Structure 1
Amino acid sequence: MLRVLTLSTLFPDATRRNFGVFVERQTLGLAAHPDVDLRAVAPIGLLPGPLRYLPGRSALTTLPAQEVWKGIPVHRPRFTAWPMTAGRHHARALERALIPVLDAIRADFAFDVIDASFFFPDGPAAIALGRRYGVPVSIKARGADIHHWGRNPATAAQVRAAGQGADGLLAVSDAMADDMIALGMPADRIRVHATGVDQDRFAPVDRNRAKTLLGISGPLIVSVGALIPRKGHDVVIEAVAALPGVSLRIAGAGPDLARLEALVAHTGAADRIRLLGSVPHADIPDLIAAADVMALASSSEGLANAWVEALASGTPIVITDAGGAREVVTSPDAGRIAARTPAAFAAAISDLLQAPPSTAATRATAARFTWEANTAALYAHLSGLVRERVERAGDPAPFAA
């Protein structure tokens, strides 16, 4: 039995049910493996002192320190995320907060490996803790954890050192692996670990009927992602505004809301373009499947889950040449890769609306992205790290019974 300690600051809780749902799904899959016993630690970064009780932040202070989340034992220790420091002290603060928690866990759960499912601040803390407990460490890179924290002068050295110190590394795409290598991480320890998609939940539907239920007639474009500049919702808004009769629905919340609302009003297309706010993940499949196109103009990505969820739904995508885009848009049936400009996105969307691929052909492009494959690959990776560590120590029995 492989005993796994999964560590992730990107994990849902009762106040943020859409937060890190892909990490949650990966963890649930691994926990269900017949040869895995898993405990999860989902640390919560809080501002210091009274700042943590500011509106919009205080709910995090009410979360339990320990609970069973969808069948998984989850610990939620707090660490201080100091503002105005560009993240410089996050990893060390996280490490200090985790030591007493992991000491207690290890008393009755002698985990074999630490699976850090996000690179920063989780990765540097995991390396220190792996040394403390004498177990191998794996760190997974997903996107902003490398593209932001790995290039931020205050944290880049920590990210690079964590990558160099890890026993194994995971990347969501070949492009992400290349970015990790460019930062100085060892290529021979990186394994591409593709995301999964629930092929039953994300599946084609009667598109016309689905649009009618949404109160929409005519072509529908959907965009899914946090309302932050990196996601490029402004590009998609301007693109759709230039396409008469085409509607746009954006699912996501974030600090860019006011700016995007003003942009929608400025385009004069408020009757066709709506910001839906945070949509429960359970409702996302119906929204995506109703769309003729899913468009996302990200400036950077690893390999966005929204891309493959759309394809599994039979909905082609228009995306920028970011991250693993070319590993997903492998044929015209999957959609188009466009320059990050409103004109280029409008042209690509128009092209797909005029000559749409069949939903079956689009869905087939996502066939390889399954949670079953994701779980099998993760188990093989983690168990391999433990086996290598044990073999180096000369013990022929890698896992406890």
Structure 2
Amino acid sequence: MRVLSLATLYPNAAAPNFGVFVARQMEAVVRTGAVDLTLVNPVGLPPFPLDRHSRYRSLRGLPERETWHGVDVLRPRFRLLPAIGGRFNPGAIVRAVWPIVRRLHAAQPFDLVDAQFFYPDGPAAVRLAAALGVPCSIKARGADIHHWGHAAGTAEQVRRAGQAAAGLLAVSQGLADDMVTLGLPRERITVHRTGLDRTVFRPLDQAACRTALGLPQAGPVLATVGALIPRKGQRHAIEALAALPEATLVLAGAGPDEAALRGLARDRGVGERVRFLGPVPHTDLPQVLSAADVFVLPTASEGLANAWVEALACGTPVVTTPIPGAQELLTSPDYGRFAGRDGQDIAMAVSDLLAHRPTREAVCAGAAGFSWEANAASLIDHWRRLIV
């Protein structure tokens, strides 16, 4: 089976944590030997002189083709208009990718075009598949539906792509329901949950992890993992510290909210109890998660967050918002609690977990059944159904 996969979310040397969950999935697909995979990771760069900005300098230096953890990755450049040009990205991607795809298809035809993110990958993949005369599959992960599926200029592109695709994937049933609300065909949607590397994400010695991170041994430690952006809601976790006087909060991730979050911590008088770790390599996250007593993610929206599953696999219970994907995963009190995006509400949920601590073994049970091998097998089965 020969598959062309578009993935604007994919790690590279400039951003090794960006879309790492897509990379792990595709690495598992390649290891099966069942798929001849061509992975295209279009890289958006603005026109000169904006492309000289420090934000894009490292992207300009990326090779246009490389092997990334066993996967052959093509990285053609497309023209990006920062902040204002999101609606034009699918067309720009098609123009950049089509000459490569046409040449590869002529040499050895593709059986299917796959998109690993609904926007901008999905509309671009549909157009490429139509030109090649093969079926198209699009995967929804969360923000691609919740943001781009409602934003002016992109919502209609999301809807049309979903209606044109032969098959659709959603990381949770709740996200599948949201897709149907947008007008996408329910009968074409398959729930395809995330994977997990159990050799990496497992419980580690808590005291040793705290020592390595320079964290206090006494008192509860809370951790949150993710980009420092408003949607992830780290500010609410910081606000919760006012009602948790013995607790320390660790934030793993980088993003535009960092300065505001540091200022908030100072203003609330908890600055010395908030640790900013910056971007942590994905394989080092078990140390952060194992150091914590509770994983906190006051997110506004998710499909099914990989970080929830990874925390459970490390034996760390979760406090997060009662959104559909979380409700599908956290089905036992041993796995965590739900709280609103409110500091006091989060503090109450954390306090309840600390007062009724589940065993690490009980928490780990929440991640049972998740593996990249199972994820890859399910994805390949889905592709096969579309080709037949």
Q: Determine the structure 2 residue equivalent to 1:306.
A: 307
Q: Determine the structure 2 residue equivalent to 1:198.
A: 197
Shift of 1:209: 3.0
Deviations 1:173-209 (A, max 9, x none): 0010001000000000000000011122111122233
Query: Which residues in structure 2 correspond to 1:222-237 (within 5 Å)?
Result: 222-237=223-238
1:157 aligns with 2:160: no
Q: Determine the structure 2 residue equivalent to 1:383.
A: 384
Shift of 1:86: 5.0
- Give the letter for the 2:348 counterpart: A
Structure 1's unaligned 5+ residue stretches are: 388-401
- Give the letter for the 2:56 counterpart: R
Residues 34 and 220 (structure 1 numbering): CA distance in 2 closer, same or farther, change over 3 Å?
A: same
Report if aligned partners of 1:40, 1:75 keep a CA contact under 8 Å in 2: yes
- Give the letter for the 2:74 counterpart: H
1:88 aligns with 2:87: yes
Shift of 1:108: 3.0
Give me the TM-score of the superposition, normalised by structure 2: 0.97
1:268 aligns with 2:282: no
Residues 84 and 201 (structure 1 numbering): CA distance in 2 closer, same or farther, change over 3 Å?
A: closer
Query: Which residues in structure 2 correspond to 1:204-353 (within 5 Å)?
Result: 204-215=203-214, 216-217=216-217, 218-353=219-354
Q: Determine the structure 2 residue equivalent to 1:38.
A: 37
- Give the letter for the 1:55 counterpart: S
Provide the secondary structure at the position in 1 that maps to 2:32.
coil
Distance across 2 between alignment mates of 1:241 and 1:138: 47
- Give the letter for the 1:88 counterpart: R
Distance across 2 between alignment mates of 1:187 and 1:180: 8
The more displaced of 271-280 and 248-257 is 271-280
Shift of 1:105: 2.1
Provide the secondary structure at the position in 2 that maps to 1:271.
helix
Deviations 1:229-285 (A, max 9, x none): 000000001102321111110001000111001011112112211111111112111
Shift of 1:7: 0.9
Distance across 1 between alignment mates of 2:16 and 2:104: 25
- Give the letter for the 1:228 counterpart: I
Q: Determine the structure 2 residue equivalent to 1:395.
A: none
Distance across 1 between alignment mates of 2:68 and 2:209: 32
Q: Determine the structure 1 residue equivalent to 2:375.
A: 374
Distance across 2 between alignment mates of 1:304 and 1:70: 23
Provide the secondary structure at the position in 2 that maps to 1:287.
helix
Q: What percentage of residue pairs aligned between the two structures are identical?
A: 52
- Give the letter for the 1:301 counterpart: E
Q: How many residues align?
A: 386
Shift of 1:210: 2.3
Residues 351 and 13 (structure 1 numbering): CA distance in 2 closer, same or farther, change over 3 Å?
A: same
Report if aligned partners of 2:64, 2:76 keep a CA contact under 8 Å in 1: yes
Report if aligned partners of 1:202, 1:289 keep a CA contact under 8 Å in 2: no
Q: Determine the structure 2 residue equivalent to 1:111.
A: 110
Give me the TM-score of the superposition, normalised by structure 1: 0.94
1:29 aligns with 2:31: no
Q: Determine the structure 2 residue equivalent to 1:184.
A: 183
Deviations 1:130-178 (A, max 9, x none): 0111111100000111111100011000000000000000000001000
Provide the secondary structure at the position in 2 that maps to 1:203.
coil
Q: Determine the structure 1 residue equivalent to 2:141.
A: 142
Q: Determine the structure 2 residue equivalent to 1:9.
A: 8
Provide the secondary structure at the position in 1 that maps to 2:49.
helix
Report if aligned partners of 2:252, 2:277 keep a CA contact under 8 Å in 1: yes
Shift of 1:323: 4.1
Distance across 1 between alignment mates of 2:68 and 2:264: 39
Structure 2's unaligned 5+ residue stretches are: none
Report if aligned partners of 1:221, 1:246 keep a CA contact under 8 Å in 2: yes
CA RMSD across the alignment: 1.1
Report if aligned partners of 2:203, 2:286 keep a CA contact under 8 Å in 1: no
Q: Determine the structure 2 residue equivalent to 1:125.
A: 124
Shift of 1:84: 4.7
Distance across 2 between alignment mates of 1:76 and 1:36: 20
Shift of 1:214: 2.5
Provide the secondary structure at the position in 2 that maps to 1:194.
coil
Deviations 1:333-352 (A, max 9, x none): 11001111101100001111
Provide the secondary structure at the position in 2 that maps to 1:45.
strand
Distance across 2 between alignment mates of 1:120 and 1:66: 23
Report if aligned partners of 1:307, 1:317 keep a CA contact under 8 Å in 2: yes
Residues 369 and 245 (structure 1 numbering): CA distance in 2 closer, same or farther, change over 3 Å?
A: same
- Give the letter for the 1:374 counterpart: N
- Give the letter for the 1:111 counterpart: F
Distance across 2 between alignment mates of 1:189 and 1:209: 48
